[in-house]
Amino acid sequence: MKLTDREQRIRGGEAGEPARVAIEQQIAVGDFFGAEAFVPVTNVHMMGDMEVMGDAGFAFIETLVAQGGRFVVPVTTNARCVDFERAASVRQDPALVARERALVAHLRALGALQVDTCINYQTVYQPHFGEHLAWGDTGTVIWANSVTGARTNYEAGPAAVAAGLTGVTPAYGYHLDDQRAGGPRFEVRCALSDYADWGALGGIVGRRTLDYWTVPVLTGMPATPTGDDLKHFGAALASYGSCAMYHMVGVTPEARTDADAFRAREPATSHVVDDAALAAFYRTYPENRPEIDVVVFSGPQLSVLELRRVVELLRGRRAHGNTALIVTTDFANREVARHLGYVKAIEDAGGQVLSGACWYIMEPAKMAAAFGWANVLTNSAKVANIIGGYRLHPILRRTDICIEAAVTGRLPAEGRLA
């Protein structure tokens, strides 16, 4: 890689040992992917929590702090595995909570803004077209690239930390024009009426794409999606397909027309997603039994409008005694939701509104064991995809079905597929 004078000085140790270690790692990654240079970034979003870092990652951060490391661009933190205020009520391991507290103190010492959100693009920082970023959490990356036209690769925790310490990231992948051209075409011919439908669409496209370096193009959108629709779509596409960008013709900024999206090339392949495909996707999440142990709204954290939808569907009813109801959001939205009476409404229903956390990283297998949960009903395709790996039984359904199940303790007839 070609280094500027500033980058060479960082490599020579003039900016301190943490920045030197960081840029060496960035050079190794850049070389691996054929980057020719670095690009400055204006904003970094990092994933760092004990659930995934382990003691070794903790020690790595501890060393950076001891060596006087300090971020040189704004670094925000992703949703983490603990809601410190409500950890006891969801029976999280006190040792994990204590370790998480120590980690947060270290990240703050490095200069991180501890916002603990996976919807930073809705509540913290809105990048503009063409802006170079170093964001982690795949849902944030796919949003930035696709919806705003900003530019970032998946920057995992250590890569985001490195970018925070150096202020630059290797210019490969989605920082470059060529990588952003559309590949396969997906013609959308299905009705999409709920967040879960948008997530399912993301899952369908993701399962067929399964490649970080491929940009699917969606055409024929039946309706104008809301921001939250795109949030569920993108989070699912990233989760099922490892994708970092999509084009939606007539919706996203680099796809005003088909020619725009494909950069005047032919689509690599063409697919149709119809109502039958959508129904088939839901059938990959059959119920194991009608009784539902826990209903989860999470992954990504909920917006204020999604919280309102939950409250409206509850209509003042209480959740069934055998069915837990868990909602996660970020600090900002929880405060707005408290102001609007939504938090009280969900708590009065017997539910919990967790903040700063996202359910699927809160050691769900341990939580399920503690409460005796075996199945999980959710409107998040991303959550459904992930928790299969934790040997819980995921059931994906539309939001209204999830709420009815929470209230009655059982899947309503229209939600039964098996």
Partner 1 sequence: MTPDAVITAPPGFGADVEAEIVLSRDSFSIRYDMDRETGVISRKGHALEGRSLAGKIVYFPAVQGGVAAGWAFLALVGRGVAPAGVLFGRTNPVMIQGLVLAGIPVMHRVRPDPFSVLQTGDRVRMSPARGIVERLAPR
Point out which residues bind partner 1 (CB under 8 A): 25, 28-29, 31-33, 47-48, 52-57, 59-60, 136-138, 153-160, 173, 210-213, 238-242, 244, 385-386, 388-389, 391
Provide the minimum distance between the beta carbon of 30 and partner 1 in the complex, in angstroms, as a whole number. 10
Q: Is 32 exposed, middle or buried (0-12, 13-18, 19+ CB in 10 A)?
A: exposed
Query: What is the DSSP code (8-state) at residue 144?
Result: I
Instruction: Pick the closer one to partner 1 by CB: 166 or 239.
Output: 239
In the complex, the smallest distance separating the C-beta of residue 339 from partner 1, rounded to whole angstroms, is 32
Q: How far is the CB of 344 from partner 1 (least distance, A)?
A: 34
Nearest to partner 1 of 192, 243 (CB atom): 243
Return the half-sphere exposure (C-beta side, CA atoms, 13 A cut-off) of residue 225.
Answer: 29
Q: Which of 206, 267 has the CB closer to partner 1?
A: 206
Least distance between partner 1 and beta carbon 331 (Å): 21
Tell me how far, at minimum, the Cβ of 260 lies from partner 1, in Å.
Answer: 25
Residues 6+ apart with CB under 8 A from 236: 198, 199, 200, 201, 202, 203, 206, 380, 381, 382, 385
Alpha-helical runs (H) found in 296-388: 304-314, 331-340, 342-348, 364-371, 381-387
Task: Rank residues 216 and 415 by Cβ distance to partner 1 and give the closer one.
Answer: 216
Nearer to partner 1, 362 or 405 (CB): 362
Distance in Å, CB of 196 to partner 1, minimum? 20
Q: What is each CA distance from 338 to 65, 296, 342, 376, in whole angstroms?
A: 36, 19, 6, 26
Report DSSP letters for 168-198, one per residue. EEE--GGGSTGGGS--SEEEEES---SHHHH
Toward partner 1, which CB reaches closer, 219 or 239? Answer: 239
